[in-house]
Amino acid sequence: MKGYENDVMCIGPTAMDLVVALDSFPHPDQISLAAWSREFCGGSSANVAVGLARLGVYSGLLSKVGRDREGVMLLNRLILEGVDIRFVEIGSKTSRAIVLLTKSGEKTIIADTQGILTSQTHLPLDALEQVRALYVGECYFSVAEEALRQASARGIMSILRLKNVHFAPGFDVTRIISGADYVLMNEKTSDAFPYKMDDLPGNIIITRGEGGCAFPARDIMIEGARVTPVDTTGAGDAFCAGFISSLLSGTSLVKALHFANIAAALSTTTYGAMDSMPTRREVESAL
């Protein structure tokens, strides 16, 4: 019998994505004609939860959706994927994101804040009971800090996904970095980081898209996998899911990063963030 209700609890947004395919990103005051547009289920933390489930990891989601068509679609999809939705709060409106996608697979994402957890009251005390790991995605600073504090108090491994939205004035982002076991950020976030890496805890992993990933504090560099990308929207989410699932299986850090790299690369070959999360069989076949 499994000793944990969920292997991983994921905290952060669930959203409905509107993907608009373009030849190139539009300039100001320019009308661009879309090749196509389509709705996809998404939200970065929901994607990670689905990615974990597809990799054979029991995952739960602490998030928000609305009492609307999109909320029903997302909840049904999460249930279908095997994600525990007991801690998904039903609110007034589901978060939406517009994803502008070019032919080369590059994207720009514009997201509203309807689905972002804004208060520590959104953290049920029993959400972290009987879990092995915590994943913290986009949420308000106070929520992230409290979630990481609770994980540390329970001896739960914690993974923080750091993005540019965390660099708001007045927030000492080093506080939440030091509270996590691993901090994942992409290269653009790293370049915009307002602190020197040498002054930070040695727990930061940088993803570099087709360039692979790096763990600077341990001098680890993993080359990227070669694929032909069509949509990179869910690549970071797939990386997180792959990394966490590998760590929980007891593999080495280098092997976990390599597995995560492959998962991220495979995700870029399919449209839609949640749709693109690979299965364990797909990742292992590509190793």
Residue range 181-202, pLDDT digits in tens: 999 999 888 887 777 777 788 8
Using DSSP's 3-state secondary structure scheme, residue 147 falls into: helix
Please answer whether residues 133 and 247 qualify as being in contact, where contact means their C-beta atoms are separated by less than 8 angstroms: yes
Please tell me whether residue 155 adopts helix, strand or coil conformation: coil
The pLDDT-based confidence of 164 (bands split at 50, 70, 90) is: low
pLDDT of residue 198: 76
Q: What is the mean pLDDT of residues 127-153?
A: 91
For residue 61, give both structure tokens. Answer: 């989601």
This prediction's pTM: 0.93
Q: Is the predicted pLDDT of residue 19 greater than 80, yes or no?
A: yes
Residue 40: both structure tokens together: 């996809």
For the stretch 245-287, pLDDT in tens is 999 999 999 999 999 999 999 999 999 999 999 999 999 999 8
Q: Which residues contact 12 (CB under 8 A, 6 or more apart)?
A: 43, 44, 45, 46, 48, 62, 63, 116, 117, 135, 136, 137, 138, 139, 161
Nearest C-alpha neighbor of 158 from the set 139, 140, 179: 179
Fold of the 8-24+36-281 domain = UDP-N-acetylmuramoyl-L-alanine:D-glutamate ligase (3.40.1190)
Structure-model confidence comparison of residues 140 and 234, the more confident one:
234
Average pLDDT, the chain: 91
**Residue 120: C-alpha distances to residues 117, 140, 160 (Å):** 8, 9, 17
pLDDT value at position 1? 34
In the chain, where the domains are located: 8-24+36-281
2 has pLDDT over 70? no
Residues 33-43 pLDDT 10s = 999 999 999 99
pLDDT of residue 82: 97
Half-sphere exposure at residue 65, Cβ-oriented, CA atoms within 13 angstroms: 26
Q: What is the pLDDT of residues 202-241, one digit of tens each?
A: 899 999 999 999 999 999 999 999 999 999 999 999 999 9
Rounded to whole angstroms, the Cα distance separating 136 from 239 reads 14
Contact at 8 Å (CB) between 152 and 179? yes
Question: What are the tens digits of pLDDT across the range 50-91?
Answer: 999 999 999 999 999 999 999 999 999 999 999 999 999 998
For 81-109, how does the pLDDT look when each residue is reduced to its tens digit (9 = 90+)?
A: 999 999 999 988 999 999 999 988 788 99
Three-state SS for 136?
strand
Q: Residue 1: exposed, middle, or buried by beta-carbon count in 10 A (0-12, 13-18, 19+)? A: exposed
Alpha-carbon 93 to chain mean position? 21
